[in-house]
């Protein structure tokens, strides 16, 4: 049975080590991590800064998303996901997800499913500030 060890939004810097530790398990032979960072461009335009906003139900939706992935991958030992909100600079960590399992195939598959499902279903919006002065809101879900 998969355990959801962490499913939160944070306003401060994220720790990859914390997320890895959250899914650590003595029976796990593999931990797969995904770390999403703020890049300096989007669709050929220079991005100078970025801000994330989550719906008030975001934490609940993040946990539900992790529970759905856990149900699809019952051999996975643990899942964790942390997403940042607020203003981020280029290079900052925006999201960290992890999965642990006895074997790498299941850990990779569950980790990928978790980040893809978060992007598709959790109500998070980002405001990108472009170098030329314009900005846009994008629903990352």
Average pLDDT, integer, range 67-84: 97
pLDDT of residue 140: 60
Class level of CATH domain 3-139: alpha beta
Which of the 8 DSSP states describes residue 29? S
Nearest CA-CA partner of 20 in 77, 114, 126, 97: 97
- Sequence-distant (6+) residues with CB within 8 A of 10 are 82, 83, 84, 85
Cα 45 from chain centroid (whole Å): 24
In this prediction the pTM is: 0.94
Query: What pairs with residue 4 in β-bridges?
Result: 79
Show the tokens assigned to 52: 């994330």
Beta bridge partner(s), residue 42: 45
- Per residue in 5-14, pLDDT tens? 999 999 999 9
Termini Cα distance of the chain: 27
């Amino acid at each position: 049975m998969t355990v959801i060890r962490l499913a939160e939004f944070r306003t401060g810097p994220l720790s990859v080590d914390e997320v890895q530790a959250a899914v650590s398990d003595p029976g796990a032979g593999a931990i797969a991590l995904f770390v999403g960072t703020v890049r300096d461009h989007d669709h050929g335009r220079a991005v100078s800064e970025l801000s994330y906003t989550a719906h008030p139900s975001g934490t609940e939706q993040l946990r539900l998303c992790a529970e759905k992935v856990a149900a699809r991958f019952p051999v996975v030992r643990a899942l964790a996901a942390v997403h940042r909100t607020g203003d981020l600079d280029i290079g900052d960590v925006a999201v960290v997800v992890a999965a642990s399992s006895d074997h790498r195939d299941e850990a990779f598959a569950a980790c990928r499913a978790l980040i893809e499902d978060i992007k598709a279903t959790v109500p998070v919006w980002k405001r990108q500030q472009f170098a030329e002065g314009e900005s846009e809101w994008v629903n990352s879900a």
